[in-house]
Each structure stands twice: as structure tokens, then as C-alpha cells.
Chain A
């Protein structure tokens, strides 16, 4: 086992995560505004919606930044190490010989940012795979090729 150097994902990743999070949550402030309009006057309802939007934005930004700070990976001779997680933090070691296949996924939003997700699949019985989100696509493909090379170069 040689010493290893930890690498960060692309600095543009937090922006992508923020954007993706908003695609999933945009309806929440709107719904909150609509529901509260049944109980309070319309300008108070707009205020509730706006306040929730600001709060969500702060939370999402905070977690995206923290996620970026916590996420790093290292390619070693014997496999891949991945550190991640804000509240529940993990450092996972996937031995090279256990890697069955590697996927590079470029989602529609991620593609616009030029980023992709690298997923490692093993024969483990629990479906979760080890993945690294927010890699520059060229880096993701390069990493995939290096992982699949048996000589570990």
C-alpha cells in the first residue's frame, strides 16, 4: 500500500447540487404560501412563501458547501477510497478486485455543468453502490479507465 493523495471533486459541484435540490423542492414555498393563504391575508401568505424560500436556500447552500468540503476520494493501487457525508460521515474502501463494473452517469442537469457521477458496483448484497458525484466528465471517464485496469497503474 503506497501512500495516497486525497482529491476533491470539481469546485463547480456545489452549484450543481444547489440547482438539483431546487428542482426537487421549488414547489415547497409555493405550497406553503397557498396553504397559509387559507388562514391569513394574501400578503402574509406571500411573506410565508418567501421566508421559506430564503430559509431553504440558506439550508441548501450550506449543505452543498459542507458536502463539497467533506467529499474527497483517493485512488490507490489496491482500490478506491471515498470520504463523504456531512452528518453521518463515512470513509469507504472498495478493493479493486471487488469492482464488478463502473458507471459514469451524466444527468440532464449535470451535463449542462459538464459534470457527472461515477458509480462503482460490487457483488455486495445491498444495492447501494459507492459513488462520487460532481466529477468533471473527462475526469470521471479517466478515473473509470484507471479503476478497470487490472495492473493498478
Chain B
């Protein structure tokens, strides 16, 4: 079929209220431009031009939104999703079902009040590979997902979710507070607060506050207080900062992950959460590329763990709130194996046979961190005592960390899974199904060759949590054997 030929039939339309959402979307995007225009023309002489510009832009946007939404049509053929858009020209986009990775419904407060949803179709391969249907009525959205699901076995099964059937995990506010205490999302909240304050800076003159605080600091710096004062100040600032961050973090978790639940319905994993904006995501179990268990010191303190998932087609740009990134934001350690098994049925943690890294692992990690210690000498100008205390503390911590790291770190492989664990304060473990690996590579650095070690790099179809899959600091012979074994297992995989 040629690219510009439309399927038979007149296609389906968006919801009648769509222009409103299209308008809201464009207006939100225009806020910086409008602010810029009003500032640039703030003086009386040009004020009229500024207002005229804003009015012209506003009217153009309204007209555009109205026509763009009304003109859009979509078709679901056996092979692909076809979307026709454009007011004067005509753009036809085809997304083959084979490339569709995920379907999401986004519903913020406005969507929920009017009973509509924005449907986002994520497709693999190439940039800009997603299509947005802004907006569909709830019935149409459900129908759309069902239709995609029938062709692709993805999407959310509305009924099953509504029934609460097959709920693997549901989190109450108490658990979310724990998540907030453990996993620091404070910086995200600070960013959001600053953005908000910027928009209302008549009421919250944040800039002035920061300047006042800076002045006070500068005044204090003027006096020579000695090392004890500086250490006390640093410790106090760190403690206050820490407490504030955690408070923000808890708020962030309570808002973003309100009512979190994880479901498994016919081979499909889905999550649902959010107080104001409801987020919901789903993926077929077959698309799971990697599971990542977080088990840092705070998790251990609260006797919890977290499980993140990397799904085929996930991009790096993913933020923390995106659908299906968190399989379990907090979960009791006893339930971890069960959840891992639910997401990857071929994974049975208890039968994995963990192997240690090369014996040089401890001091190699030590060296890589110790090389940064001389940077502390830059503080020499402030106080020599302070530098001495910091250097000693850093060396003790680095030594503890390196050898604890080497004791915990290791890898495991069986007929279906390759796994790796590392870390001391930030412990984490990942599991990758071997039959979904794209390629493997054995890498040696000059340092590796001097020590008889090597690392194994594993390429996956996801840029999701945990970065690149890499097993470092293996004995060379072991690394080679690992690659040979992966190769043997991969060569039996059928597409």
C-alpha cells in the first residue's frame, strides 16, 4: 500500500471536546512566549503591540485547535494504525502494529472531570515514535485499547483492572510514606516548586529569599570562625537539607503514586497510580527486558525493597513517574521473589548460583574512588584541619565501601537468566532473560589486561532503569566462558 492511500471507510474521529484539550496543550506551551512578549513590550509605547501579538497568537491557536482536532481521523487496519491529520495539507502516519510497544491512557484532573482520556501509542524504532490521540471518550479509549490488544496482546484490560482481579501489589499511604523516606525524590519536588514559585513570584518572592540567605552567608564568611564552626555549619546544613528533602520526597510519592496497584492479567503487567493525574501503563510479559531490585541501606533500614522494570522500547527520557517503571516502589523482602517470578516466569531466584567477581575487585573499586580524594585538597584554603578530617573520613568510607562491595558483588547464570548484583550502600541486583539479549561483548581496558580481568557488556532493547547491563571485574577466563555460554544459548533462540 502506498503511503498516502487511506484505508476504506471514513475513519474514526476524536471526542467532540478534543479542541478544548488541544487548546489547553498549545496554550500551556505558549506561556513562555507570552511571558517573553509581555516583558519585551512592558514599556507603554509598545504595550499595544504586545497585547495585539498575544491576541493574534491566541486566536490563531483557537482556530488551529478547533480545525486540527476536527480534521483528525484514525483507522485501525489489520497491519497498522493510520492517522490522518493536517488542516490545509494532509499528513498520513502509519504505525505498524508490529512496532507498537505500549498503549497508555493519561488522565489529569480536567480529563477526569469531563470523562475523557488522552491515548498515547508508543512505538519502537526511530525518533518521535509515538502517536497521541488527544482526546478520546472513555468508551472509545477502552475500545481502542481492546482493539490494539486484540492485535498485539498489549494495553490495559479495563474490566479486569476494575474488578481488582489479579492484583499483585497495592500500596497504601503508609507504604508510600516509607517510599518517600527511602527513595529520595526531593530534588524533583524542589524543581517543581521552583517552577511553580516562578509563576507566582509576586506572592512567593523566592528569588529575594535566596538572595537574603546568600547575604547572610556572605556576612558570616567575613568573620574568621575556625574549623569547628565550619564543620558545625556544614553538618547543620546537611541535616536541615536532608530533613527538608525527605519531607518533599514524601509529598511527591503521596501525590504521584497515590493508589498504586500492580496487576497481571493474561500475560500482561499493568500499573495504575496518581492523585491528580492518573497514570496507567501496561506491557506484555514477553517485553520485559530487565528487572532491577533496589536494596540500598535505607531500604534495608525500613525492611523494604523496590523493583523496577525495563520494557522493550523504553527510552532514557523516561521520568520517574512513567508507567511501568516501578513494578513495586516498596515491597517487603519476603514478596520479592514472587513478584520477580510474576514478571519473568522463567526466573526462579532461589536456584541461582551466585559467583564472586575477580579477587582484585575490592581494590579496583577502592582505587577508582580513592583517585578522587586529592580533590579535597582544594579546600586547603578554607581550613587545614577540615581537610585532614575529611580526607581521613573519606578514606575510611571508601575502604569500607570497596571491600563490602566486593563481598556482595557477583553474577549468576542459568539456562534462562543472567543476573548481576553490586553495591554496598546502594545495593542493587538485576536479572536479564537471556533469550532477549541483542548482542554481547567482552571488553578489556588496559587496567583489566594488567590484572587479568574483563567485563561483559550486554545490549538490551531498553534504556530503562539501571543503565547499561554490564558485568565488570570478572576473571578473564570466566568472562570468556560466560560469553561462550551466552552465545550458545542465544544461537538457539528463534525470533
Residues of chain A having any CB pair with chain B under 8 Å: 1, 77-79, 85, 87-95, 97-98, 122-126, 130
Chain A residues contacting B443 (CB-CB under 8 Å) are: 85, 88-90
Chain B residues contacting A87 (CB-CB under 8 Å) are: 445-446
Chain B residues contacting A88 (CB-CB under 8 Å) are: 443-446
Please tell me if the beta carbons of B442 and A91 are within 8 angstroms of each other in the complex: yes
Cα distance, A88 to B457, chains bound together (Å): 13
Please report the total number of B residues contacting A with Cβ < 8 Å.
32
Complex A-B, nearest 4 residue pairs according to Cβ-Cβ distance, in ascending order: A78-B491, A124-B438, A124-B459, A92-B441
Cα distance, A122 to B460, chains bound together (Å): 10
* CB-CB nearest in chain B for A82: B441
Interface flag for B468 (CB, 8 Å) = yes
Chain B residues contacting A78 (CB-CB under 8 Å) are: 487, 490-491
Chain B residues contacting A125 (CB-CB under 8 Å) are: 313-315, 459-463
Chain A residues contacting B211 (CB-CB under 8 Å) are: none
Selected A-B contacts with CB under 8 Å, 17 pairs: A79-B487, A87-B445, A90-B442, A91-B483, A93-B439, A93-B486, A93-B487, A93-B490, A94-B439, A95-B487, A97-B494, A122-B439, A123-B461, A125-B460, A125-B461, A126-B463, A130-B439
Cα distance, A78 to B493, chains bound together (Å): 10
* CB-CB nearest in chain A for B445: A88
Chain A residues contacting B463 (CB-CB under 8 Å) are: 125-126
A92 and B124 in contact, given A1-B488, A97-B493, A125-B314 (Cβ under 8 angstroms): no
Cα distance, A77 to B492, chains bound together (Å): 11
Please tell me if the beta carbons of B461 and A92 are within 8 angstroms of each other in the complex: no
Cα distance, A122 to B459, chains bound together (Å): 10
Chain B residues contacting A98 (CB-CB under 8 Å) are: 438-439, 490
B252-295 interface bits toward A, Cβ cutoff 8 Å, 1 = contact, 0 = none: 00000000000000000000000000000000000000000000
Cα distance, A130 to B462, chains bound together (Å): 17
B446-477 interface bits toward A, Cβ cutoff 8 Å, 1 = contact, 0 = none: 10010000000101111100001000000000
Question: Which among B441, B446, B460 has the highest number of chain A CB atoms within 10 Å?
Answer: B441
Cα distance, A77 to B444, chains bound together (Å): 26
Chain A residues contacting B462 (CB-CB under 8 Å) are: 125
Cα distance, A97 to B491, chains bound together (Å): 8
Cα distance, A94 to B313, chains bound together (Å): 19
Interface flag for B440 (CB, 8 Å) = yes
Cα distance, A97 to B436, chains bound together (Å): 11
Nearest CB of B to A79, in Å: 7
Cα distance, A94 to B488, chains bound together (Å): 12
Question: Which among A95, A122, A123 has the highest number of chain B CB atoms within 10 Å?
Answer: A95
Chain B residues numbered 410-446 whose CB sits less than 8 Å from any CB in chain A: 438-446
Please tell me if the beta carbons of A97 and B483 are within 8 angstroms of each other in the complex: no
Interface flag for B125 (CB, 8 Å) = yes
Nearest CB of B to A94, in Å: 4
A124 and B445 in contact, given A78-B491, A91-B483, A130-B439 (Cβ under 8 angstroms): no
- Select one of B441, B446, B461 contacting A90, CB under 8 A: B441
Cα distance, A77 to B314, chains bound together (Å): 31
Interface flag for B495 (CB, 8 Å) = yes
Chain A residues contacting B486 (CB-CB under 8 Å) are: 93
Chain B residues numbered 299-323 whose CB sits less than 8 Å from any CB in chain A: 312-315
* CB-CB nearest in chain B for A79: B491
Chain A residues contacting B313 (CB-CB under 8 Å) are: 125
Please tell me if the beta carbons of A93 and B459 are within 8 angstroms of each other in the complex: no
Cα distance, A123 to B438, chains bound together (Å): 7
Chain B residues numbered 100-136 whose CB sits less than 8 Å from any CB in chain A: 124-125
Chain A residues contacting B312 (CB-CB under 8 Å) are: 123
Nearest CB of A to B340, in Å: 22
Cα distance, A97 to B495, chains bound together (Å): 7
Cα distance, A126 to B438, chains bound together (Å): 11
Known: A98-B490, A125-B459. 19 other contacts (CB 8 A): A77-B491, A78-B490, A79-B487, A79-B491, A87-B446, A91-B441, A93-B486, A93-B487, A94-B439, A95-B439, A97-B494, A97-B495, A98-B439, A123-B312, A123-B438, A124-B439, A125-B463, A126-B468, A130-B439
Please tell me if the beta carbons of B483 and A93 are within 8 angstroms of each other in the complex: yes
Nearest CB of B to A92, in Å: 4
A93 and B494 in contact, given A124-B460, A125-B461, A126-B468 (Cβ under 8 angstroms): no
Nearest CB of B to A140, in Å: 20
Cα distance, A101 to B485, chains bound together (Å): 25
Chain B residues contacting A124 (CB-CB under 8 Å) are: 438-439, 459-461
Nearest CB of B to A30, in Å: 32
B44-68 interface bits toward A, Cβ cutoff 8 Å, 1 = contact, 0 = none: 0000000000000000000000000
Chain B residues numbered 340-372 whose CB sits less than 8 Å from any CB in chain A: none
Please tell me if the beta carbons of B459 and A126 are within 8 angstroms of each other in the complex: yes
* CB-CB nearest in chain A for B438: A124
Chain A residues contacting B315 (CB-CB under 8 Å) are: 125
A92 and B439 in contact, given A125-B461, A126-B459 (Cβ under 8 angstroms): yes
Nearest CB of B to A129, in Å: 10
- Select one of B125, B488, B491 contacting A123, CB under 8 A: B125
A95 and B491 in contact, given A122-B439, A123-B124, A130-B439 (Cβ under 8 angstroms): yes
* CB-CB nearest in chain A for B125: A123
Please tell me if the beta carbons of B439 and A1 are within 8 angstroms of each other in the complex: no
Please tell me if the beta carbons of A89 and B468 are within 8 angstroms of each other in the complex: no
Please tell me if the beta carbons of B460 and A89 are within 8 angstroms of each other in the complex: no
